[in-house]
Structure formats: structure tokens, C-alpha cells
Amino acid sequence: MGDFDRYARLTADLDAPFAVVDLAAFRQNADDLVRRAAGTPIRVASKSVRCRSLIAAALERPGFHGVMSYALPEALWLARNGVDDILLGYPTTHRTALRSLAEDPEAAARITLMVDSPEHLAFIRSVTAGGARIQVCLDVDASLRILGQHLGVRRSPLRTPDDVAALARRVVADSAFELVGVMFYEAQIAGLPDTSPAVRWVKRRSAAELADRRGAVVDALKQFAPLRFVNSGGTGSLEISSADPVVTEVTAGSGLYGPTLFDKYDVFQPLPAVAFALDVVRRPAPRIATLFGGGYVASGPAKKSRLPLPTWPAGLKLLGTEGAGEVQTPVSGRAADALRLGDRVWLRYAKAGEMLERFDVVHAIDGDELTALATYRGEGKNFG
């Protein structure tokens, strides 16, 4: 748990709600990601950071190289602000941004688009109508299919070497595109906490299946183009992905912040580097205090694991009937009796960068120094 006594002392003059990042914990988490990647370069997932200063801080550390962006307007903005190796992690149909990319050879040299179908190629070509050559990466489904079940996220229709070869053939035959990489994101390994023997079995089985299939896919692609990179993994699967000799880079972002979804992994546990503070504004009953704001619910399945976690003072919990509210968030527990109007309660977010869509700045704590860093939102940017 973070040093909330120190956080409270350093932020006593700030009005809540506000967010903080403990830079010592951030740096330690970055070093742990590098250790786990075991020499494989780490691409920073910008969606999990959403603060240019903190993205830059990660990229300055040995072991990190390049950014995985989540939106093409974001990628263009980052490229024009000095980031020189950007992989767009998801397909895009943003017409204005595609035209801007085609009209900017320098940005086109820095940005690689993600595709998984001939339709993507046709759409990009119809919008750009010439201009700079577009670099593309093929997104390959990394889910586990077993006993008629699909275990993992629903991403790409590409799965087998034949699937991928058919699309690669289309890419290299079209002078508008250059095939530079391939990506595999094994969400069923990276995104699942180790909460049961069944989950651990799924992870082991999935890792073995993907290692075989990934090697075959990469071999097939090398018949068409000399790939610059083979990307795989996420914060939760760095050891597994980096152990595969065909993988040239891994991706991580959430592990820099240490959100609550990573509290139950076996192989690693990042420090909680980011938290937010709310004020007590009501005392409606014994052992209940009501906080202003707090309805910062993470994306994904709508369940308890996506709610923020009251962390300090210890012993508080959300009410099952209200959860985290748009304007008020009641918390209960013995510690609530000691809270008074204006006191601070600190909470941790379930995921990572999404939280910063709520704040113009994140207050960086480094020892006893406090510095305000602009978030994407604080720079007037909202990429969805």
C-alpha cells in the first residue's frame, strides 16, 4: 500500500477530488517490468498512462522503446510531439486522421497502423487516395479455443498461418502499404488474475498453444516481408511472451501504475503508484461517511472488480446498494466513525489510465516534492 500519510501531508492544501502518482513507485514498477521482460524491449501502452510526461518518463528508462497508441489522432499528436515509434494498437476508420497521416510523410514514417482484413486496406486506400506509404501491422487472434469455448477477447479474424498469409499477400501487392510487423495480444493470460487453479491451467494451456501457433504465423509472414517487429503480451504476461524467441517486443502500461486488477497475480505485484482522494461531505449514520464524487468505474464487464477500492484509512468499503456514485460515494466500516467533514479518503482505481480522463492534472509526488503534470484531458485532448 502507498505511503498515504505522506501523500495526505503533501496534498493538504489541494481541493479534492484530485489524483496523485508516486514517482518512486512508478520507477520501481518500471524497473520490475524490465526485469520481467528479461531483455525484450517494452513498448509503452499509452491508453494505460494518458499523461505525456509519464509516457516520456517511462521511455527514458532503459528497456523501454516506442509507444502503443490507442487512437490515430492520438498517434499523430504524439508523433508531432517527438515520439518516433508508434504502433496503433487497434484498427482505425478515423477519416480526418487517415488523410492527415497520408499527407505527412514524417508522421507516416513514425506510425504503424493495425489491420486484420482486406476491408481495412480498402477503407484506408479509399480515404487516403495516395500520399505517403502507410506502414501496417497484422493483428492475429491470440485467444485459446478449447472444448468449443473461445477464451480471450474478440479481436482479429486472423488466426492460422494461412489466414495471415492471405492478408499479407494483399498488403505486399499494394504499393500504398508496407508490411512491417505482426501483433498477438493474449488477453486471457495478461488480463486474468490468478484467482483459481482453473485460471492457472487456462494460462498454461494457452501459452503453450500460442507459442506453437505464433511461431508458425511468423514463419509464414517472413515469406512476404522482413518483419521489423513481432509484438506480444501485456503487463500480466511479460514473462511468457518474452520467453518466446520469435517475439521481438512486448507491451505494458498498466503495470507502471499498479491498479487493483493486478493485486491477485502470482508472478508479480506492482506497487500501487496512482490513487485519488475524495472529501468527506456527509455523516448520514454511524459507521458511514459519504464522499463527494468517486464514480470512476473502469471499463470491462460491469461487476465489483471494476469499482474503485477505498484504501486509506484502512477498513472502509463501498456500500453494495450504492457503489461508487456520480456525485456521492458512501463508505462504511469502523474507520468511518473517525472521519469528519473535510477529511480525505484515498481510493485506488481498478484499471490504469482511464482514471485520468477525470482529472486535468495528476500530482506527482517525488520524495517530499509535489509537481502537477498535465494529463491528456488537461492538454485538451480526448481520444475516446
Each residue of 282-320: pLDDT tens digit? 999 999 999 999 999 999 888 999 999 999 999 999 999
Mean pLDDT confidence for 6-32: 97
In order of 229, 239, 349, the CA distances from 251 in angstroms are: 12, 12, 21
Per-residue model confidence (pLDDT) at position 211: 73
Per-residue model confidence (pLDDT) at position 195: 65
Residue 148 has pLDDT above 90, yes or no: no
Give bridge partners of residue 288 from the DSSP assignment: 285, 332
Q: How far apart are the first and last CA of the chain?
A: 31
Residues 6+ apart with CB under 8 A from 77: 381
Cell match 509537481: residue?
Answer: 371
Per-residue model confidence (pLDDT) at position 372: 98
Query: Quick check: 363 and 53 in contact, CB under 8 A?
Result: no
Cα–Cα distance measured from residue 336 to residue 355, given in angstroms and rounded to the nearest whole number: 25
Cα–Cα distance measured from residue 306 to residue 259, given in angstroms and rounded to the nearest whole number: 10
Per-residue model confidence (pLDDT) at position 151: 62
Per-residue model confidence (pLDDT) at position 375: 98
Cα–Cα distance measured from residue 50 to residue 371, given in angstroms and rounded to the nearest whole number: 17
Exposed / middle / buried, residue 296 (Cβ in 10 Å: 0-12, 13-18, 19+): buried
Q: What percent of the chain has pLDDT over 90?
A: 79
In order of 140, 144, 145, 186, 289, the CA distances from 204 in angstroms are: 19, 11, 13, 12, 44
Per-residue model confidence (pLDDT) at position 264: 81
Exposed / middle / buried, residue 303 (Cβ in 10 Å: 0-12, 13-18, 19+): exposed
Cα–Cα distance measured from residue 78 to residue 75, given in angstroms and rounded to the nearest whole number: 5
Name the band, by pLDDT with cuts 50, 70 and 90, for residue 186: confident
Q: Name the amino acid, one letter, at 151.
A: L
3-state secondary structure of 21: strand
Query: Quick check: 244 and 232 in contact, CB under 8 A?
Result: yes
For 35, half-sphere exposure in the C-beta direction (CA atoms, 13 angstrom radius) is 11
Say if strands 249-252 and 42-45 run parallel, antiparallel, or are unpaired.
parallel
